[in-house]
Amino acid sequence: LTSQSYPEIKRNPNFALITGQDVSHFGTILSRNSIIDGISPENNASEEDLAPFNVDWMNKYRGQSQLVLKPKSTSEISKILSYCNFRKLAVVPQGGNTGLVGGSVPVFDEIILNLSSMNSIRSFDPVSGTLVCDAGCILEVVDNYLAERGHIFPLDLGAKGSCHIGGNVATNAGGLRLLRYGSLHGTILGLEAVLADGTIMDALSILRKDNTGLDLKQLLIGSEGTIGVITAVSILCPRKPKATNVAFFGLPSYSHVRKAFISAKEHLSEILSAFEFMDSAAQKLSCHHSGTRQVLEQDHPFYVLIETQGSNETHDSEKLEAFLENVMSLQIVSDGVLAQDESQLKSLWKLREFIPEACSKSGGVYKYDVSLPLDCLYDLVTELKNRLVDAGVVGENKTVVDVMGYGHIGDGNLHINIPVRHYSKEVASLLEPWIFEWIGLHNGSISAEHEHDQANEGHKGSLRPQWNFESV
């Protein structure tokens, strides 16, 4: 077997090849319709049936698994992993398959352990706001459940319609409102997980405070499936805000974006729930591919989307007015709109949330998700664009469509995306290691809220870990 996504990587021969007998064994643990089988003589799956599980959201990474298991309970997962550990069969846990770094699909022929059939909400306490749910619950479904009970999930992101809570935890997803509701490291109260040898780790605490022993759950948050399969999550959910406002501004420069952030923190303080930014290139691409018209009449070098969430409409409006007066009188923003109703609010958010999809429409996209000090955050986009333009690879009929920056200014998190018409070694070698060295020199992080995407480095023969059962 060869890996289609990482041609330089050799399959680890310590992992066994799956046989029809293995599939029969899984048939004793799971019901027949929980197994998508391309292996045994009586198999029920074609390449086409397996493709949605083998290929990632961006259509960038492709594994060659012939077996998908969809367990319905923690005990089934425990039995599966115990057997795989004994037989040395490699496994990749999979949630909604919306991760952007290739972690949710196999590299070779790993068994795909898909969590979508574990999707029950176990309990919700409206007094403390504690929700306990299975890992395979879809984020949007959980958020709708909570909304009916006057609460919200403390994480929101563009992939909410497909991503799983377990996947969110495994990736330590940051999302659109981290600046208000904090990281999952703070909101998660407990986890249940199955380790590689089948041991069930029950740390599904619902307590806000619990200092007994080491806080093991923190190791699993952001572990990308490398140390266990998360099967259930206990999480603290805030009250649903009574008033939500969204404003969208055009700004003349990145330094004005920073000034607007200072003003937002000063005037909106505790009701500020999102401060997102995008440059002109990202906004145009998002409008183009979503078929939406630009919101502001004229083009601006930068745009920000600001959201407030509070418990008192009148107080919030007063604060918002003071903020608007400040940014307009000081000419921090050049133009702007305030959503007047729910549908306008959604369209403004769509402009921002659609960017990742728009970036992947040209043929391919090199994605970097970085943290940087705010004063130099956008310099990376400018310098990288100059570098690629100087090399003659950007423009119509060239490999690179454009270089664009967007992301979570409120968290110092830049998404720098380079949509391309096709992947190219020349472009890859212009990007790396230059981009990493630049981030290192500026005291940043090459992995802010997604794991670092190693396939971008594939040309250099970098390694991607496969579960190593012997080390567990």
Q: Which residues bind ligand MLT (CB under 6 A)?
A: 100, 158, 355-356, 369, 407, 415
164 is a contact residue toward ligand FAD (CB under 6 A):
yes
- The partner in contact with residue 97, picked from ligand MLT, ligand FAD, none with C-beta cut-offs of 5 to 8 angstroms by kind, is ligand FAD
Q: Quick check: 71 binds ligand FAD (CB under 6 A)?
A: no
Nearer to ligand MLT, 146 or 448 (CB): 448
Residue 168 binding ligand FAD, by CB under 6 A: yes
Residue number of the CB atom closest to ligand MLT = 356
Give the range of 169-177, 265-273, 318-326, 417-425 binding ligand FAD by CB under 6 A: 169-177
Return the structure tokens found at 273.
């729930």
Residue 356 interacting with ligand FAD (CB under 6 A):
yes
Nearest-CA neighbor of 456 among 434, 428, 437? 428
Look-up: residue for tokens 């709708």?
Answer: 144
Check: CB of residue 233 under 8 Å from CB of residue 326: no
- Of the chain, the end-to-end C-alpha distance in Å amounts to 25
Pick the stretch among 92-100, 256-264, 326-334, 373-381 that binds ligand FAD (CB under 6 A).
92-100
Alpha-helix residue ranges (DSSP H) falling in 307-450: 313-329, 342-353, 355-359, 379-390, 425-431, 434-441
Q: Which does 415 bind (CB under 5 to 8 A by kind): ligand FAD, ligand MLT, none?
A: ligand MLT
Pick 256 or 415: Cβ nearer ligand MLT: 415
Question: Does 98 help bind ligand FAD (rule: CB under 6 A)?
Answer: yes
Question: Do 427 and 418 touch, CB atoms closer than 8 A?
Answer: yes
CB atoms < 10 A from the CB of 343, how many?
Answer: 9
Residue (100 or 251) nearer to ligand MLT, CB = 100
Least distance (Å) between residue 41 CB and ligand MLT: 42
> Could you please report the per-residue DSSP string of 417-442?
EEEESS--HHHHHHHTTHHHHHHHHT
The smaller minimum CB distance to ligand MLT, of residues 22 and 369, is found at 369
**Smaller CB separation from ligand MLT, 163 or 201:** 163
> Is 153 one of the binding residues for ligand FAD (CB under 6 A)?
no
Contacts of 117 (CB under 8 A, 6+ apart): 34, 70, 71, 72, 136
Q: Residue 446 in contact with residue 452, Cβ under 8 Å?
A: yes
The residue among 223, 224, 196 whose CA lies nearest residue 91 is 196
Helix axes 434-441, 379-390, angle to 10 degrees: 150
- Residue 235 interacts with, from ligand FAD, ligand MLT, none (CB under 5-8 Å by kind): none
User: Does residue 174 touch ligand FAD according to CB under 6 A?
Assistant: yes
Contact set with ligand FAD (CB under 6 A): 57, 92-100, 103-104, 115, 135, 157-159, 163-164, 166-168, 170-171, 173-176, 224-225, 229-230, 356-357, 449-450
